[in-house]
């Protein structure tokens, strides 16, 4: 009985963590968009890289790959100094 309860608890934690990641992607995207709206001083290369990471992050989110989406969006935020 104890093993079953542990397994159920572990499974529910995995489910919740997936939901948390899925819900954080749009927050990351909106933070990036808000910073870009301020017209930050970026080199052409950095601006292009941020745009690329933002687009790929959104695509990964829509595809259900939230872990990769968060990684890409976090990289874009780092370039932007967020």
Q: What is the largest CA-CA distance in the chain?
A: 60
| pLDDT value at residue 20 | 46
pLDDT at 81 over 60: yes
pLDDT tens per residue across span 44-67: 999 999 999 999 999 999 999 999
Please state whether the predicted TM-score (pTM) of the whole model is above 0.85: no
- Comparing CA positions, the residue from 20, 32, 82 lying closest to residue 57 is 32
Average of per-residue pLDDT across 18-34: 80
Q: Could you tell me the pLDDT band of residue 23, with boundaries at 50, 70 and 90?
A: confident
């Amino acid at each position: 009985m104890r093993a079953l309860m542990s397994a159920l608890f572990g499974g529910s934690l995995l489910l919740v963590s997936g939901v948390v990641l899925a819900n954080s992607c749009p927050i990351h995207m909106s933070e990036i968009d808000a910073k870009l709206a301020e017209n930050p001083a970026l080199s052409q290369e950095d601006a292009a890289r941020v745009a690329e990471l933002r687009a790929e992050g959104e695509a990964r989110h829509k595809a259900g790959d939230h872990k990769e989406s968060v990684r890409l969006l976090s990289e874009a935020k780092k370039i932007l100094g967020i």
